[in-house]
Structure 1
Amino acid sequence: MAGDWLNLWREKTGRSTPADLDLVAAVQIGIATEHLHPRFVEKATGLPCVPAERTWVHPEHEWMVAHPDFLTWEGDTDTGEPDTLVEAKFTGGFQTDADLAQRYHWQVQHQLVVTGLDRAMLSILRPTGHALVRVPRREADCGRLMETLNAFWWHVANDVEPGDPLPAEAPAYETRRVVDMARHNRFAALAAELVDRRAAALAVREAEAALKALMPADARIAFVAGDEPGRGLYLARDREGRLSLRYGAPPRRALDTAEPWRPATADPSPDPSLDAVLSGGWGEGRDERY
């Protein structure tokens, strides 16, 4: 919990206007995708998720307001009034669910204080999927939050310019451990072997990627038999067009219809020049400007 008290105080006392967020991409994407969250929440919980559709005001401090995104129910029934806040967030970054819950902890606690509810859900929508993180009300944090907000509002009510408060860390939501495995002999030995062979492993990955790039577009299987049994490999393309690399000989029924590869034009050398690659139809150049 931290903040730019001075700029916020200037806004609250009419000395400045709030920042214009109309062209802040992250904010606008969040607004544009907000309506999608109820669908994902309902799928995950089996309970309705409804728009909040009102502004809450704290019963004792009229300057404390909250604008929840959605409301839902906890448990297995949706009878009675909704008892759970749903805060909708969109992210395209690499933060984990636990990181985001920690980032928005104080915002969610503020909403729980104002509404009087005891639980919330953080609905996290990404381009790759959706996640729900349950955030309970923490009375100690709510008390600390109230002290901080009262201190700030004193500056507003008395028109006294504030300084910034000391930041208060949000609790960690990550429950998985970080473990030093140096004392596990087998783990440490395998790790050392992998580090020693990293260059060879990277070379294998690069060779696999290059082989797949050379797979003829109309081929179901492309192979090299190898000079000795077990030395060959082949690429196979499935019905969806996905390529897989396998070691050994291809299936016998595939060998029955195998034909030798022939280039569209004269075969360039094993290490062709750029001109030879382009003229041989192996690729095409692009003129791109950044």
Structure 2
Amino acid sequence: MTALVIAEHDNQSLKGATLNTVTAALACGADVHVLVAGENAQAAADAAAKITGVAKVLLADGPSLKDALAENVAAQVLQIANSYSHILFPATASGKNVAPRVAAKLDVAQISDITKVVSGDTFERPIYAGNAIATVQSQDKVKVITVRGTGFDAAAHEGGSASVEKIDAVQDAGKSSFVGREVTKSDRPELTAAKVIVSGGRALGSAEKFQSVLTPLADKLGAAIGASRAAVDAGYAPNDLQVGQTGKIVAPQLYIAVGISGAIQHLAGMKDSKVIVAINKDAEAPIFSVADYGLEADLFEAVPQMVQALQ
């Protein structure tokens, strides 16, 4: 068996989710190849070749793949799909955009958001907002899989010595075109890659309080800032900070939940964090059920005290 991992990259460097997906591919008991599809993406391919466990890197380099349009990337994957038993994508916005197209064209069932590989044809994935785990077995010849990064450790990005083989890039499918990209720039770590996250909930009361209370603590810890869906819906924080089932799935070393009650959809997005600290004045808040450390206190008093202690 040979597995193909679809690398996520910016044509220069690999995104962290690719490393977690490689680990999942190795767990399938297969040789692992990585496809880097882009334009002027030799640097990304060279980085993929250094990942421990990767046997070969395929580089498809052409103008049609510059902006990773889903139609073109899917066509590139389909060009080589029949050579593989498993095709794995990170369960990111990009991966979720391409994988269903590949599965549909191959006429196979997609296996979504896996968190564990039981065997080469059997996988575990969360359902009901993570309250239950489904064990899924596939008898399809080619298994198209998306991988939840928080379920797998990242493969070592150094130590491998895979060969890089260039393959022909597909022609532009002509079904979509790249118009523009608005990128949020921040000095803080990216939310899904951060080792420490400070998240705020609706109890903060306003967008101004959200910033004034959380920012000093995040600055002291070098942390990313997240938010519950309730805080986002109330306009306290932008959508791209939302943590949860309908937001971003995170698993940092330290997750500090400030004024978050702990709705099921929020817990589904952060309960795999290594250490969870909850600050809430409601002793019955569900967040305390998953917290390693809980502080029953007024957040407007507790958080400034934590910042002061970190001086």
Give the TM-score range, shorter chain: under 0.3
In our comparison, the structure showing a higher alpha carbon Rg is: 1
Higher strand share: 2
Q: Which has the higher contact order (CA 8 A, sep 6+)?
A: 2
Q: TM-score, normalised by structure 1?
A: 0.22
Q: TM-score, normalised by structure 2?
A: 0.21
